[in-house]
Amino acid sequence: MSRWAPCMLSLTHTPSSRLAPFVERLWMLGDAPPHARECIVPTGTVELVVNLHDDRIDIYDSCDAEQPRRYSGAVVSGVYGRSFVIDTTSHASIVGVHFKPGGAYPFFGVRTDELADDHVDLDALWGRTARTLRDRLCEVTSPIERFRILEGALLSHLAARVHPREAVRDAVASLVRGATAVADIAERAGVSHRHFIDVFSAEVGMAPKLFSRVQRFQRAKSMLERGAEPRFSQVALASGYCDQSHLIRDFVALSGLTPLEHVRRRNDRVKVDHVALF
């Protein structure tokens, strides 16, 4: 049975058994955070977000962008190889789906790399059912009921004939653990290197080399967030970087922030992979 668990201003919900192979968690934020903007760092995954407070979501391409791009209140955020920034001032009530790497592939009727480094209004992918979904979510107030409605919408769009390939699933697991030899992974799968990259990109949303880089960043970020006074040189080597300078360069390139800035702001976040800006 699915469960929900409170965490600060948020609720997380364990997906049902039919969705568990594809969805990491469903989540809900019940109050706007005290800061106006949050930087969202790369994860190698797709996110579905529905704003129940306002029928809009404003997203900045970077920390330096002055004007946001405005989307409807239901948006799919594709796999990103860099950070982007959201305006949180209208996020008094918001729900979402955090897919597993490659997990979004059966739900939206397109190759996942067609959504890469971009955000798409849900109605462009699901048509009128996107509006129906948001309306139904707005009509109820119970978190459990909202999660039930969201799960039902996902199940209704789960393509029965679209199954993630076992080779991609195994490759994702290997790359998350720290394996970097993509050619070896392709050889074990019994396909050419080029074909493997194409299949992986179609399902996960980015090439395996970039996905591996994002997962290395995520491993380092997790270590920094766990340590009371993390030593950057030790974190760099433990997570797969050549040295501390390599760690710092990659953090800035992928998130726009240094490792030290991440550490200083880790207690201000409301949600995993979000960094409070101001």
pTM: 0.90
| 68 and 153 share one domain | yes
| 170 and 119 share one domain | no
| 86 and 116 share one domain | yes
Q: What is the pLDDT of residues 161-177, one digit of tens each?
A: 777 788 898 899 999 98
| 21 and 71 share one domain | yes
Q: What is the pLDDT of residues 47-104, one digit of tens each?
A: 999 999 999 999 988 777 778 899 999 999 999 999 998 887 776 789 999 999 999 9
Residue 18 belongs to a domain with what CATH number? Answer: 2.60.120
3-class DSSP string for the chain: CCCEEEECCEEEECCCCCCCCCEEEEEEECCCCCCCEEEECCCCCCEEEEECCCCCEEEECCCCCCCCEEECCEEEECCCCCCEEEECCCCCCEEEEEECCCCCCCCCCCCHHHHCCCEEECHHHHCHHHHHHHHHHHHCCCHHHHHHHHHHHHHHHCCCCCCCCHHHHHHHHHHHHCCCCHHHHHHHHCCCHHHHHHHHHHHHCCCHHHHHHHHHHHHHHHHHHHCCCCCHHHHHHHHCCCCHHHHHHHHHHHHCCCHHHHHHHHHHCCCCCEEECC
- The pLDDT of residue 3: 44
Whole domain around residue 81: which residue ranges? Answer: 4-157
Q: What is the pLDDT of residues 1-42, one digit of tens each?
A: 444 444 446 899 999 999 999 999 999 987 666 567 888 899
| 96 and 177 share one domain | no
Report the number of distinct structural domains present in the chain.
2
| 98 and 30 share one domain | yes
